[in-house]
Amino acid sequence: MKRIVLMLVLVMFAMSGYASAVSERTMEEEAEETTVVDIATNDDRFETLVTALDAAGLVDTLAGEGPFTVFAPTDDAFDALPEGTVEALLEDTEALTQVLTYHVVAGSVSAADVTSLSNATTLQGQPVVVSSSDGVMINQAEVIQPDVMASNGVIHVVDAVLLPPSGDIVEVASNAGSFNTLVAAVEAAGLVETLQGEGPFTVFAPTDEAFGKLPDGTIPALLEDPETLAQILTYHVVPGRVFSGDVVNIDDAGTVQGQSIGVSVMDGSVMLNDTSTVTATDVLATNGVIHVIDTVIMPE
C-alpha cells in the first residue's frame, strides 16, 4: 500500500512539473507573438492611435515581421491637437498615413540607441530630430516610457503627436514671419528655385533683426547687387541636413558658397565664426533644416 501511495505521489509531482513547464512555455510563446499592434490594442492609453491605424489601413503592416520602432502618442497627446484635427485626419486617409508613418522607424531602436542619435529617418520619409540633453525628445515630444518590447519591434511612448514638415525651406521661412528680409533677399538673388529644390540643405537663417544690425544702406545696396547677395546668402547654406546634435560636434562646415563656417560652443551656445549665435535649432522643412541665427555672417 505504501508503495502504491509513493508511486501516486511521484506521478502527481511529475505531472505538476510538466504542467508548470507547459504553462511557462505557453507564456513565452504568447510574449514572443505580441506585436506592437497587440500591445497598443491592449493598452487603454492608445485607443485613438489604434483607431487611426485601422482607419489608415496600417494594422497589418505594423503587425508584420518588422522590426519597427514606434513612437506611440497617447490619447492625451492626440487630445492636445487643435480641435477637429483628429476627426479631419480620420477622414483623410492619405494625410493620416503620412502622420502615422512619421512615428515609425525601420528596425528595433532601443532607448540606449536613441540617445546616441541626432535624428532618425521615418517610414514617412522625413527624419525626426532626436535629443537627449534633458530627457529623450523626439522633435517636440518627450519619451515618457521607453522600451516597451514587442515581438516585432519596440514602442517608445511619447506625450505629443509628431507632425511631419509640410513646406520647403522657402515656405517655412516665409510663413514664420521673422524672416521677411531673408525671403526678399533670396528672391532678389534668384535663389528661390534652388532652395525649393530637392536638397537637402541646412540653412543658418538670419532674422529680420539680424539684418537690421547691418550698417545703414547695406541691405538696399545688396538687393541691387544679386551676385554679391548670392555669395552672402549661399554662405549661410550647408549641403545636407546638419542637426543640432551634429553641430555641437563639428569645428567647421563647408557652405554652398565654397568657404567654410567656423563652428564653436561658448557658454552653452553654438556660435558661427565667433560672431553669430544660433538662437533656435532644428526647424524642419521637407527639404532640409533651419537653424535661426542672430547676426548675418559674411564670407571673406
Residue 63 has pLDDT above 80, yes or no: yes
SS (H, E, C) 4-41: HHHHHHHHHHHHHHHHHHHHHHHHHHHHHCCCHHHHHH
CA distance 36 to 38: 5
For the chain, domains (ranges, CATH) are 31-158 (2.30.180.10), 169-293 (2.30.180.10)
Look-up of cell digits 540653412: 203
Residue 20: predicted pLDDT: 45
Q: What is the grid cell recorded at 104?
A: 515609425
Q: Exposed, middle or buried by CB within 10 Å (0-12, 13-18, 19+), for 49?
A: buried
User: pLDDT, tens digit, for every residue of 134-184?
Assistant: 789 999 999 999 999 999 999 999 999 999 999 999 999 999 999 999 999
User: pLDDT, tens digit, for every residue of 94-125?
Assistant: 999 999 999 999 999 999 898 889 999 999 99
User: pLDDT, tens digit, for every residue of 201-227?
Assistant: 999 999 999 999 999 999 999 999 999
Residue 276: predicted pLDDT: 97
Residue 5: predicted pLDDT: 40
- Stated pTM of the model: 0.86
Residue 17 has pLDDT above 50, yes or no: no
User: pLDDT, tens digit, for every residue of 274-285?
Assistant: 999 999 999 999
Residue 12: predicted pLDDT: 43
Q: What is the grid cell recorded at 137?
A: 525628445
User: pLDDT, tens digit, for every residue of 123-132?
Assistant: 999 999 999 8
